[in-house]
Structure 1
Amino acid sequence: MRTGDIGEILPNGTLRVIDRITNLVKQPHGEYIELTRLEQAMQSNYLSQLFIHADPLTMMTVAIGFPQHVELIKWAKTHGFEHLSLEQLCKEEQVKTLIHDNLISTGKSNNLLENEIPKAIHLCSEHMTVENGLLTETFCTKRFAVIKQFSKEIKAMYDVI
């Protein structure tokens, strides 16, 4: 039976589901990266959702960030960007740098390895939802759907780093 789940058989013979196979990526050096663990460890005041992508052919990760609107607008007002819409803020290099630096700091403080901390970030003003097909009914990320929707942005980030 193939369900896409990773499990372990407990001493009493029952099966315990540990994770989803789509949440693990084997990197060239042979170690696995658990993407959901990274996403949880790198929560930021500026992001309400984070999607991390790891390319199995490189030793790097990149991120798609979905800003926390209230915090980002509050920051924008104090830094001279109050005239920009949320969509425009997501394209501003200074905003990307702010959020990326915050991710790096959070990752380091949570003892993540250098190859686990995203080397680049793309910001999207529209959050992942069930309605736009990026979340399941139980609010889990549909990884393949996110990768498909943001394939150009993901490729562009890997091309730059």
Structure 2
Amino acid sequence: MEMVGTVGPAVPNLDACLESVPKMNYDTLSSKPQGEICIRGNVLFAGYYKREDLTVEVLVDGWFHTGDIGEWQPDGSMKIIDRKKNIFKLSQGEYVIVENLENVFGPVSDHDSIWIYGNSFESCLVAVANPNKQAIEHYANAHNISGDFEALCENPKIKEYVLGELTKVGKENKLKGFEFVKVIHLDPVPFDMECDLLTPTFKKKRPLLLKYYQSIIDNMYQKINNR
């Protein structure tokens, strides 16, 4: 049972190692070795057909850089915990390019920033957004919803409204069903560098966002699975 949730150990005739990814805070020398999974061996493919550019990108000195972020377990098995290029697969096998979706939903005026999350154990996406204070308070006043900004962010009617705006934009951009956000959490406190959630160039630190919002993510998926 110790290997549950892992992809198991390396198979015969296949070498595997981790390569640190500093920009994502994954270090092979940490107490839990983490980094991009690299493999080599005679069982690997020789390269992409007629795509030397892609082959050179992923095959370096005989090592295939998978793009998966792994963590070695004490029993020698490997656990996949992230994607280097922010591409992940949902439980039904559909791949999601999360940055593309955040760019689609980004122009929605009712929030200032959005982080979309999913993983291979779940069938749908959830999100955490920093709502736009002026837009939310305007909607609340127009619909007789009382409360300060923090209370409005917790109000189910406000969440339903913001989610509806995301859905509207998704339909306008002809997103596929699995690319729509199913549940959203509204955080009145913006993602920022002080919480170590953004880089100096304002890019999201996704592993740290997940750690920061883990309990909220778990609650959102629990709500979905209990429907």
TM tier, smaller? 0.7 to 0.9
TM-score by length of 2: 0.61
Counterpart among 67, 71, 78 of residue 135 in structure 2: 71
- Deviation (angstroms), 1:29: 3.6
Shift of 1:138: 0.7
2:143, 2:198 → 1: CA distance? 33
User: How far apart are the structure 2 equivalents of 1:9 and 1:69?
Assistant: 49
Would you say the 8 A contact 2:104–2:169 is kept in 1?
yes
Moved more, 39-48 or 24-33: 24-33
SS at match of 2:202: coil
Aligned partner of residue 137 in structure 1, secondary structure: coil
1:35-46, aligned counterparts within 5 Å?
A: 35-43=98-106, 44-46=108-110
Q: Give the corresponding residue for 1:118.
A: 181
Could you say which residue in structure 2 is the equivalent of 1:130? 193
Alignment of 1:5-154 (within 5 A): 10=53, 21-43=84-106, 44-81=108-145, 83-154=146-217
Report the 3-state secondary structure (helix = DSSP H, G, I; strand = E; otherwise coil) of the residue aligned with 1:45: coil
> Of the two structures, which has the highest relative contact order with CA contacts closer than 8 Å and spacing of 6 or more?
1
The answer to whether the 8 A contact 2:159-2:185 is kept is yes
How far apart in 2 are the matches of 1:110 and 1:72?
Answer: 23
Higher helix share: 1
Name the % identity.
27
Gaps of 5+ in 1: none
Offset, 1:55: 2.0
| In structure 2, C-alpha distance between the alignment counterparts of 1:9 and 1:92, rounded to whole Å | 53
For each residue in 1:7-29, what CA deviation from the matched residue of structure 2 results, as whole angstroms up to 9, or x when unmatched? x9759x899xxx97251112234
Following superposition, the deviation at residue 32 of structure 1 comes to 1.8
SS in 1 for 2:181: coil
TM-score, normalised relative to structure 1: 0.84
Do the aligned partners of 1:24 and 1:32 also contact (CA within 8 Å) in 2? yes
CA distance in 1 between partners of 2:190 and 2:86 (Å)? 20
> What is the CA distance between 1:70 and its match in structure 2?
1.5
